[in-house]
């Protein structure tokens, strides 16, 4: 039964959306103090509207903020600092600051991300703080409550990835601000990293316990197995390797998701709503084409900017096995049989199409937040840390076989050195780099495993390809807490160094 408590409203206004995710019509936009608890949570439709509102805030532009959208900022600020990409020229877009690590406390895209993240958190808190589960609670109500825990958990996770170092660097380090109530906590100190990840894991576990699925397209909404997939990631970050193995194995063995076959792999990445392995996507229908503001726009010059290309080290790695289907994600542009160069530079136009061509539309895509490939590789990394080398390589080879590799292209303990790996963990991280490329994992993989970032290759922020090795614990591996969104109004919030 829903037991409505008095709501103490914060300063943030939350956008409530329609009950159908794909529809463009909005509910009335009202400040919290214009809505009573009964209006918000009177029935299942009200809960559904709030749950859908969290998804909408992830994918829609709130206000007039240029191209800033939560999902776009997330993918750019996690991927662009990695060694998989280069940018061909400086830009006034704040995404440039992720490439050259010249972060500033007033960074526009980061400020938007922080503010929107906590709007989503407050939206989820509206359900979490006002619904008590008992014997009369319906499965539908449990689903929306579970989604709220899930959305809050993944946003806390996203914020932790950008604004704090991973738990392997120390549980006592500064984490994020854990806002779990509905008011009275505007001035609040940052929790420790240990407390932050404990909250993330708690939210994801509650989400997994409460959710089933609410449609025939479960990946479009929070669902039990997506929450377990995120749990496998959270346990990996917190070095709880036995727990990674347990939860990942449950997903691999018991979920309805399966690896997409080799023949449809590229299509399924580009058309994620039809993917057999996509466990949670941020669904965009074809009318929600973001144009030059799309995630794929910076990678693909077909209707987009096409100014971010795969780095030379990544191209060398992926091309080392021509039979690897993942080579088809990279599209070299030719003019008269010769690779075209980006105007005024020496960089070949090599477009990356993982985030393009949903239903043939160049700048349309539904970003994948969690898929089975990652869960398998999360387990592989956990196995490697546990010294279970054969099991780790079995998971690695499951991904490589799907990619079209066979024979000596698969990795065994006997040919590990000939593949250039000193140990099994290196093989796992290599496969994660190939399979999860451009999805924002590479930066975290390096930091989490205390590996320095090597960007000693030519790019607009390093034109001569000079040595550029940044330590895994360097202060600009993470971003400043936004000055205008938090520091100026919260005297208890400590700024990052």
Query: Does the structure show a pLDDT above 60 at 29?
Result: no
| Residue 193 and residue 326 in one domain | no
Write down the pTM of the prediction: 0.92
| Residue 204 and residue 290 in one domain | no
| Residue 307 and residue 167 in one domain | no
**pLDDT at residue 432 in the model:** 98
Average pLDDT of the chain to the nearest whole number: 91
**DSSP letter for each residue of 9-39:** --S-----B-SSTT---B-----GGGS-HHH
Of 335, 365, 395, which closes a domain? 365
**pLDDT at residue 27 in the model:** 31
| Residue 185 and residue 100 in one domain | yes
Q: What CATH number is given to the structural domain containing 40?
A: 1.25.40.390
| Residue 39 and residue 143 in one domain | yes
| Residue 171 and residue 317 in one domain | no
Look at the chain and report how many structural domains it folds into.
2
**Is residue 459 situated within a structural domain?**
no
pLDDT tens for residues 312-326?
Answer: 999 999 999 999 999
Helix (H, G, I), strand (E, B) or coil at 335: strand
- Phi (first) and psi of residue 208, to 5 degrees: -65, -35
Band (44; pLDDT cuts 50, 70, 90): confident
Which residue in this structure is represented by tokens 């347990």? 246
**Is residue 138 situated within a structural domain?**
yes
**pLDDT at residue 90 in the model:** 95
**Is residue 355 situated within a structural domain?**
yes
| Residue 294 and residue 165 in one domain | no
Of 365, 389, 420, which closes a domain? 365
Percent helix, strand, coil in the chain, to 5, is 45, 10, 45
pLDDT tens for residues 107-119?
Answer: 999 999 999 999 9
| Residue 207 and residue 288 in one domain | no
CA distance 497 to 494: 9
Instruction: Calculate mean pLDDT across residues 186-203.
Output: 96
| Residue 196 and residue 329 in one domain | no
DSSP state at residue 249: H
**Is residue 277 situated within a structural domain?**
no
299 is in which domain, residue-wise?
284-365
**pLDDT at residue 10 in the model:** 34
| Residue 63 and residue 160 in one domain | yes
**Is residue 371 situated within a structural domain?**
no
| Residue 77 and residue 177 in one domain | yes
**Is residue 351 situated within a structural domain?**
yes
C-beta separation of 107 from 480 below 8 A: yes
Of 365, 381, 412, which closes a domain? 365
| Residue 64 and residue 160 in one domain | yes
**Is residue 200 situated within a structural domain?**
yes
**pLDDT at residue 323 in the model:** 95
DSSP state at residue 261: P
């Amino acid at each position: 039964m829903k037991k409505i408590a008095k709501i103490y409203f914060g300063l943030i206004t939350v956008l409530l959306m329609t009950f159908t995710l794909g529809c463009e019509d909005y509910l009335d936009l009202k400040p919290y103090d214009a809505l009573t608890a009964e209006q918000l949570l009177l029935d299942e439709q009200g809960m559904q509207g709030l749950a859908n509102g969290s998804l909408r805030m992830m994918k829609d532009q709130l206000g007039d903020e240029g191209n800033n959208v939560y999902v776009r900022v997330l993918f750019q600020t996690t991927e662009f600092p990695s060694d998989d990409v280069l940018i061909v020229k400086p830009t006034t877009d704040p995404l440039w600051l992720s490439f050259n690590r010249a972060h500033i406390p007033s960074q526009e895209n980061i400020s938007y991300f922080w503010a929107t993240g906590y709007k989503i958190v407050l939206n989820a808190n509206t359900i979490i703080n006002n619904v008590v589960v008992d014997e009369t609670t319906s499965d539908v109500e449990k689903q929306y409550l579970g989604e709220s825990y899930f959305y809050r958990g993944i946003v806390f996770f996203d914020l932790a990835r950008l604004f704090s170092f991973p738990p392997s660097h120390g549980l006592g380090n500064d984490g994020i601000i854990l806002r779990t109530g509905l008011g009275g906590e505007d001035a609040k100190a940052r929790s420790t990293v240990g407390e932050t990840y404990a909250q993330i894991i708690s939210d994801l576990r509650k989400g997994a316990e409460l959710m089933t699925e609410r449609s025939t397209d479960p990946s479009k909404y929070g669902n039990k197995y997506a929450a377990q997939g995120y749990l496998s990631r959270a346990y990996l970050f917190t070095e709880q390797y036995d727990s990674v193995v347990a939860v990942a194995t449950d997903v691999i063995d018991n979920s309805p998701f399966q690896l997409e076959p080799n023949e449809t792999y590229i299509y399924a990445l580009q058309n994620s709503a039809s993917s057999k392995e996509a466990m949670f996507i941020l669904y965009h229908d074809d009318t929600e084409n973001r144009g030059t503001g799309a995630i794929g726009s910076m990678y693909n010059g077909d209707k987009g900017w096409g100014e971010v290309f795969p780095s030379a080290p990544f191209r060398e790695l992926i091309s080392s096995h021509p039979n690897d289907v993942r080579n088809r994600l990279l599209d070299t542009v030719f003019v008269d049989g010769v690779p075209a160069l980006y105007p005024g530079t020496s960089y070949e136009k090599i477009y990356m199409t993982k985030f393009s061509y949903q239903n043939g539309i160049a700048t349309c895509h539904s970003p994948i937040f969690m898929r089975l490939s990652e869960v398998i590789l999360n387990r592989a990394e956990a196995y490697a840390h546990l010294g279970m080398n054969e099991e780790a390589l079995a998971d690695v080879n499951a991904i490589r076989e799907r990619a079209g590799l066979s024979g000596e292209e698969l990795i065994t303990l006997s040919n590990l050195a000939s593949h250039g790996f000193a140990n099994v963990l290196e093989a796992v991280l290599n496969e994660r780099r190939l399979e999860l490329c451009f999805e924002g994992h590479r930066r975290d993989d390096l930091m989490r495993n205390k590996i320095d970032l090597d960007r000693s290759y030519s790019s607009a922020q390093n034109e001569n390809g000079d040595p550029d090795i940044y330590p895994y614990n360097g202060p600009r591996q993470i971003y400043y807490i936004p000055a205008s969104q938090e520091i100026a109004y919260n005297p208890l919030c400590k700024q990052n160094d």
